[in-house]
């Protein structure tokens, strides 16, 4: 079933001088239920803008976004966006546990076992023991995990993630990738993941949507037929992985050459 | 067209409505008029007062006390602040004294000043100086103490003597802090001048406003309030203007942050 | 301003030295004993007045009025500041009125208050209410305006209604700045209660000090001033305590940022 349907999405901005710049150019793609989809593109190509439009936080200039067939007019009730700037998105006045509980509060699901569920989510992201800490006491990677746990507490049907592992060191990133895959498998959410890291996209996804530079259009839709579960070493050494990567790199350099 | 956008129509509208309602309701009710004379009458009083020498005398008296107190305080406090901020021993000796006197609201010094200096101009200027000294002093000390070590070393590596360094480097580097203190003191000075005029009487806008209230000449009272507010506003604007000229380097620097 | 060990000792010695110096100078008539009664006499008066309950009574009267005006101002102007920060039309409508009312020096409102309320508590409460308005209002407004956009988007993506985001996100995020406004207003409150009691009152600590001077009970005048300094200090400490309790998270955050 088509969970997410983006059709002809365009976004332009009016500049100070009066002219407008086109950031997104008629973007169209679909995401199926329980799928892990990635959007890959060079830095600054407007991936964040695209996610914000899909999340209903900013209005597109033209085109539509449909979640479960219903047109998006504001933040949809069954969708959550995890922001790139986690340090600005997390609530400094709440503890780690408090932040995760917020996800439950937002859905008005503060039952007696709320604390238990929040703790369980923290356990899933590997942060047990840090419940009473404040976000600023944690490292960047840990903060991002809190943000992810908070989003998952909301139990969204669609989870949008804006370069969540962008400012995390390489080793932590691999850990987080696997943790995310475990979470995805257990919670059976649909994930739309934005990244500029091609390897990461291939490793994580079922399908990849490749965007060009600004003004962004969809260059190609690629299916990733690598088996699951994925393994950091085995999957990345798989010849199909290398093939996919080469194909994508070729697409990118073709685009750059234009 | 762009200028049109800058004019705050909503603001003007609500202000206009407020004044209109004031005018209408007070004209309709003599009882209300005791407390709120109609706006038109207040404006009339204001107009009449401005062109009478009586109010000019009060205005100049207040302005004179303000300037004397404020400028004297600035001179004393900046100098003292630089000394205390720069010389460690002086600071350590005076720190406890400062922290002890600070929590006491400066207005409490008025009776002491009356005791020592009677009820004339000198008393009013003295309390103003006392009150204004605190923000300027503390901010200056802060500013001098927060000067980057590197700047001091730069001065020394260029062979600047202690006093030259003070003038050429310490003062300019601490000036943003000093200016903050000066700005805060601006409103404090006006408060002290107005207050002492009310308590001691005789002349000045503070005395005028209180006196008109006692005589139930309410339009004059409100007119006096408008005038003292205009005085405060103009002083503020003047300060901002001078600050912009003197501190343009700092504005440019912090704008990038 | 920091206290390091040695500095503190030096300073306290100087402070302590004032007492004997004052005493000797006064008794030896080096200074006019009328203006400077011996410190022993002042301290004696101070303790007598405190123990007899006279001074505490006057202080309580003043604090009662001060607290009423202060709390009323907080109750009115914090919500107003939030409204101005959230709704631009509220800000624009009130902007001119505020800009006109703000330059009025607070003492100038004392005669107005006397006109309305005579010489009673109401007069002082009104003056304090008016004077504390601006720091509270403007700091609250600033605090709300300075909230990072990502935080607002986070509220949006979790589907929070306007009302819920005000309670759960806007107020906590703006609270450090709101506290700044409250702290500044605390000092103003104390100043204005003294002023209003000196100009138009028959009781209260402000009146007490002025009255003592008029009756040439100079030692009592100084005793009153000492008690006022003590009250000022105590209020400050109480506020710091309150601040530490409420904004513990903020202290940690700003300490890290330094």
Query: How far is the C-alpha of B97 from the C-alpha of A204, rounded, in Å?
Result: 66
Contact by Cβ (8 Å): A70, A76: yes
Q: Cα–Cα distance between A127 and C107 in angstroms, integer?
A: 57
Most B-contacting residue of C55, C183, C187, C195 (CB-CB within 10 A), to test interface:
C195
Q: What is the largest CA-CA distance in chain A?
A: 59
Touch criterion met for C and A (3+ Cβ pairs within 8 Å): yes
In degrees rounded to 5, what are phi and psi of residue A3?
-80, -45
Residues of chain C neighbouring A103 (CB-CB closer than 8 A): 158
Contact C225, C209 (CB under 8 A): yes
Q: Which pLDDT score, from 0 to 100, does residue A43 have?
A: 77
Query: Which residue does chain B place closest to C232, by CA atoms?
Result: B103
What are φ and ψ of residue A70, in 5° steps? Answer: -100, 135
**CA of B55: how far to CAs of A1, A186, B59, B227, in Å?**
83, 82, 6, 10
* Contact at CB, C103 and B229, closer than 8 angstroms: yes
Q: Extract the tokens encoding C111.
A: 């005669």
Closest approach of C226 to chain B, Cα-based (Å) = 8
Angstroms from C153 CA to nearest CA on chain A: 7
Chain A adjacent subunits, 3+ CB pairs under 8 A: C
Burial C227-236 (b: 16+ CB within 10 A, else e): bbbebbeebb
At residue B257 the predicted structure's pLDDT band, cuts being 50, 70 and 90, is: very low
Pairwise CB contact (< 8 Å): C150 & A57: no
CB atoms within 10 A of CB A42: 16
C107–B191 CB contact, under 8 Å: yes
Q: Which residues in chain C are contacts of A136 at CB distance < 8 A?
A: 252-253, 256
> What pLDDT does B52 receive?
80
**Interface membership of C173 toward A (CB under 8 Å):** yes
User: Quick check: A91 and C158 CB within 8 A?
Assistant: no
C66 touching chain A per CB within 8 A = no
List, for chain A, all residue ranges whose pLDDT scores fall below the cut of 50.
Answer: none
C253/A91 touch (CB, cutoff 8 Å), yes or no = no
Residues of chain C whose pLDDT is less than 70? 1-8, 255-258
Query: Quick check: B2 pLDDT over 80?
Result: no
Query: How confident is the model at residue C6, as a pLDDT?
Result: 66
Across the interface, whether the CB atoms of C256 and A136 are under 8 A apart is answered yes
Question: How many angstroms separate the CA atoms of B113 and B125, rounded?
Answer: 10
Per residue in B67-86, pLDDT (tens digit) is 999 999 999 999 999 888 88
pLDDT digits (tens, 9 = 90+) for A205-253: 999 999 988 888 888 899 998 888 888 888 888 899 999 999 988 888 8
- Site from A56, A92, A109 to mutate, C interface, most C CB atoms within 10 angstroms: A92
Residues in chain C with CB shorter than 8 Å from the CB of A102 are: 158, 168
- The torsion angle over the Cα atoms of residues A138, A140, A145 and A150, rounded to 10 degrees, is 80
SS3 A258: coil
Q: Calculate how close chain B gets to C159, using CA atoms only, in Å.
A: 31
CA distance C33 to chain A (A): 56
- Report the distance separating Cα C46 and Cα B8, nearest Å: 56
pLDDT of residue B182: 94
**Residue of B8, B9, B96, B219 to mutate, interface with C, max C Cβ within 10 Å:** B96
pLDDT in tens, B83-121: 888 888 888 888 888 888 888 999 999 999 999 998 889
Q: Which of C148, C160, C175 sits opposite A106 (nearest CB)?
A: C160
Q: Are C58 and C204 in contact (CB under 8 A)?
A: yes
| Cβ contact C108–B92 (<8 Å) | no
SS in 3 state form for chain B? CHHHHHCCHHHHHHHHHHHHHHHHHHHHCHHHHHHCCCHHHHHHHHHHHHCCHHHHHHHHHHHHHHHHHHHHHHHHHHHHHHHHHHCHHHHHHHHHHHHHHCCCCHHHHHHHHHHHHCCCHHHHHHHHHHHHHHHHHHHHHHHHHCCCHHHHHHHHHCCCCHHHHHHHHHHHHHHHHHHHHHHHHHHHHHHHHHHHHHHHCCCCHHHHHHHHHHCCCHHHHHHHHHHHHHHHHHHHHHHHHHHHHHCHHHHHHHHCC
For C225, the token pair is 């001033």
Chains A, C: CB contacts within 8 A come to 61
Cα–Cα distance for residue pair B225/B204, rounded to 1 Å: 12
pLDDT level of residue B4 (50, 70, 90 thresholds): low
Q: What is the pLDDT of residue A21?
A: 85
State how far residue C178 is from chain B, nearest Cα, in angstroms. 19
Residue of C nearest to A95 (CA): C249
pLDDT at position B255: 62
């Amino acid at each position: 079933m088509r969970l997410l349907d983006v059709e002809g999405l365009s976004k332009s901005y009016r500049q100070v001088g009066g002219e407008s710049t086109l950031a997104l150019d008629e973007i169209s793609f679909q995401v199926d239920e329980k799928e892990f989809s990635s959007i890959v593109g060079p830095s600054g190509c407007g991936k964040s803008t695209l996610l914000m439009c899909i999340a209903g936080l900013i209005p597109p200039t033209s085109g539509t976004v449909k979640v479960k067939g219903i047109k998006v007019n504001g933040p949809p009730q069954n969708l959550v966006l995890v922001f790139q700037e986690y340090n600005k998105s997390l609530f400094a006045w709440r503890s780690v546990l408090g932040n995760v509980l917020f996800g439950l509060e937002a859905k008005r699901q503060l039952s007696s076992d709320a604390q238990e569920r929040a703790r369980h989510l923290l356990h899933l992201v590997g942060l047990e023991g840090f419940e009473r800490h404040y976000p600023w006491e944690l490292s960047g990677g840990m903060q991002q995990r809190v943000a992810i746990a908070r989003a998952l507490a909301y139990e969204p049907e669609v989870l949008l993630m804006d370069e969540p592992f962008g400012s995390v060191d390489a080793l932590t990133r691999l850990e987080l990738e696997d943790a995310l895959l475990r979470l995805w498998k257990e919670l059976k959410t649909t994930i739309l993941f934005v990244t500029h890291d091609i390897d990461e996209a291939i490793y994580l996804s079922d399908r990849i949507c490749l965007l060009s530079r600004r003004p962004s259009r969809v260059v190609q839709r690629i299916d990733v037929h690598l088996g699951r579960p994925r393994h950091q070493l085995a999957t990345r050494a798989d010849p199909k992985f290398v093939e996919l990567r080469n194909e994508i790199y070729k697409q990118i350099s073709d685009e750059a050459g234009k | 067209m762009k200028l049109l956008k800058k004019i705050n129509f909503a603001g003007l509208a609500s202000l206009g409505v407020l004044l209109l309602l004031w005018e209408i309701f007070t004209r309709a009710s003599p009882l209300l008029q005791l407390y709120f004379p109609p706006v038109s009458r207040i404006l009339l009083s204001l107009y009449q007062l401005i062109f009478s020498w009586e109010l000019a005398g009060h205005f100049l008296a207040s302005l004179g006390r303000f300037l004397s107190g404020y400028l004297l305080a600035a001179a004393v406090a900046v100098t003292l602040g630089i000394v205390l901020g720069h010389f460690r021993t002086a600071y350590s000796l005076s720190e406890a004294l400062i922290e002890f006197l600070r929590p006491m609201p400066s207005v409490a010094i008025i009776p002491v000043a009356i005791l020592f200096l009677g009820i004339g101009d000198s008393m009013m200027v003295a309390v103003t100086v006392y009150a204004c000294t605190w923000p300027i002093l503390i901010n200056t000390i802060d500013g001098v103490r927060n000067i980057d070590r590197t700047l001091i070393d730069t001065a020394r590596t260029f062979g600047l003597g202690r006093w030259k360094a003070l003038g050429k480097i310490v003062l300019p580097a601490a000036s943003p802090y000093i200016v903050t203190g000066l700005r805060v003191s601006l409103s404090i000075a006006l408060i002290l001048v107005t207050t002492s005029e009310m308590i001691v009487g005789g002349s000045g806008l503070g005395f005028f406003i209180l006196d008109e209230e006692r005589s139930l000449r309410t339009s004059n009272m409100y007119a006096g309030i408008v005038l003292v507010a205009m005085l405060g506003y103009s002083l503020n604007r003047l300060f901002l203007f001078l600050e912009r000229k003197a501190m343009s380097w700092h504005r440019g620097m912090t704008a990038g942050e | 301003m920091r206290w390091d060990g040695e500095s503190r000792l030096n300073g306290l010695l100087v402070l302590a030295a004032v007492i004997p110096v004052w005493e000797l100078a006064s008794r030896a008539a080096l200074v006019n004993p009328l203006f400077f009664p011996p410190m022993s006499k002042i301290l004696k008066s101070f303790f007598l007045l405190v123990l007899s309950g006279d001074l505490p009574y006057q202080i309580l009267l003043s604090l009662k009025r001060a607290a009423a005006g202060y709390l009323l101002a907080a109750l009115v102007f914090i919500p107003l500041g939030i409204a101005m920060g959230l709704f631009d039309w509220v800000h624009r409508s009130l902007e001119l009125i505020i800009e006109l009312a703000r330059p009025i020096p607070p003492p100038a409102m004392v005669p107005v208050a006397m006109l309305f309320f005579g010489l009673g508590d109401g007069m002082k409460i009104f003056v304090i209410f008016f004077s504390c308005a601006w720091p509270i209002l403007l700091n609250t407004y600033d605090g709300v305006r300075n909230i990072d956009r990502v935080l607002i988007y986070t509220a949006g993506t979790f589907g929070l209604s306007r009302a819920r985001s005000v309670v759960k996100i806007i107020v906590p995020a703006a609270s450090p700045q709101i506290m700044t406004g409250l702290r500044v207003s605390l000092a103003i409150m104390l100043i204005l209660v003294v002023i209003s009691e000196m100009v138009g009152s028959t009781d209260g600590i402000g009146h007490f000090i002025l009255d003592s001077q008029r009756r040439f009970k100079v030692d009592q005048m100084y005793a009153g001033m000492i008690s006022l300094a003590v009250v000022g200090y105590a209020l400050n400490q109480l506020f710091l305590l309150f601040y530490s309790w409420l904004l513990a998270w903020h202290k940690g955050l700003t300490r890290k940022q330094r």
